[in-house]
Amino acid sequence: MDLAYIPSPGFSTITIGPVTIRMYAIMILLAIIAAVWVSTIRWKKVGGDFDQILDITIVAVPCGIIGARLYHVITTPERFFGPNGNPADIVRIWQGGLGIWGGVLLGALGAWGWCRHRHYPFALILDAAAPALLIAQAIGRLGNWFNQELYGSPTTLPWGLKLNPNVPGVIGSNEMCYDGQVCPSDTLFHPTFLYEMIWNLIGAALLVWLGRKMINRFKAGCLFCCYIMWYTLGRAWIENLRIDFAHEFLGVRVNVWMSIIVFILGVVAFMLVQRYGQPTAVLSDRLFEITRAEEKARSDSEQEAARRQRERDQHTGHENRGDDGADRADGAQDADGAAPSVSDDGVSSDDGAADAADDAVDGAPSSSLWDAPEATEHDVQDAFDRLAAQEADDAQGASADGADDADASDDATDDTAGRAAED
């Protein structure tokens, strides 16, 4: 009976209604978020901003996932094209099978293409992402723990991994211990995913320290070369502990050979970059200039959009004010029509007001009704002012005529009275 061991999780999926979410996918997503966060912090220190990292991520992450899956398909083709293989399983990445080498290669190519398009110094993004990649890979290894996969040979160590056969859909329960024999149910295994997780976290801290201490000695891109050397150095010995199926060459697992080859390439790349590369300070100054230019372009674009919006709002406001002026004119006409006044010549003052208003409107250019709503409202107001003055004059004239008629009546009365007295 084992007194100390690392238990396997009791679940590997989360179900929310009809949707099933696999913990493997959640760990991959968390790994991407962590990598973006760390890369952004480091990228800003050399002159970049978050928007640039986000754009690079949108390009690099899909490329990396495709590359990682293709590497797994190429190195284990019998799982997909053999007698018992299923080509449809190629797209089922939640079942495991992402090769880091293909992910780094295609992801880096995608990032390089975007950086070249935007004129970002590619060596700086490599150095900024180096420790972020190790942190992301460490978090991603937790997905192997939920899948109960990628464990090592049997062990009696107190940190051995104990599988949980009661979890449906996990991968590791079908792994073989050695010589194609099924492992006993009470066997503990080397938690190789945990070894790699710890190794990656140590490497991330080491790269951050080296970046601070050697910033004036390392050329841009050297830190990424250190990432390659550190990861492959650990992957070589950890890979030798694993018992999951893998192709071998000369009795050594293919991934071990790949780790050795990539490590050597990393050493060669470090020497070449250190000799022919550009200093980080020079590329950082260039990135600062690019970032300022992008910020100015965004600011100019926002100001232009705001200016166009103000013009649209002003045009809409002019049309509304023109409509309000027309409504007020109609209201004034209605008010005058409610109390018509008749002049001594028998013509209603409403008709005169309407004629005056028509004359005022007809006197203005017809295009002003659409091109200058303010002028139209002013003309209408002047017309009604003149109408009011005309009505006042008509009223005064009517009063004067009434007074003259009264005087004439009085004279006639006096004449009649005089003739009566003479008779």
Task: Answer whether 13's CB lies under 8 Å from 115's CB.
Answer: no
Q: How far apart are CA 321 and CA 376, in angstroms?
A: 10
Closest to 175 (Cα-Cα) out of 166, 165, 84, 141: 165
In a 13 Å sphere around the CA of 198, the CA atoms on its Cβ side amount to: 5
For residue 356, give both structure tokens. Answer: 């005056």
CB atoms within 10 A of CB 84: 6
Task: Answer whether 220's CB lies under 8 Å from 123's CB.
Answer: yes
For residue 44, which amino acid is it? K
Q: Is residue 310 annotated as involved in ligand binding? A: no
Distances (CA, A) of 347 to 329, 350, 356, 360: 22, 8, 14, 20
Q: How far is CA 19 from the centre of its chain?
A: 25
Q: How far apart are CA 150 and CA 174, in angstroms?
A: 11
Task: Answer whether 88's CB lies under 8 Å from 79's CB.
Answer: no
For residue 36, which amino acid is it? V
Q: How far apart are CA 92 and CA 72, in angstroms?
A: 12
Task: Answer whether 136's CB lies under 8 Å from 31's CB.
Answer: yes
Reported residue count of the chain is 423
DSSP character at residue 173: G
Q: How far apart are CA 251 and CA 184, in angstroms?
A: 26
Distances (CA, A) of 359 to 149, 163, 344, 353, 371: 93, 98, 23, 10, 20
Task: Answer whether 247's CB lies under 8 Å from 253's CB.
Answer: yes
Closest to 346 (Cα-Cα) out of 299, 393, 394, 301: 394
Q: How far apart are CA 128 and CA 121, in angstroms?
A: 11
For residue 367, give both structure tokens. Answer: 């295009």
Q: How far apart are CA 270 and CA 202, in angstroms?
A: 20
Enumerate the known binding-site residues: 141
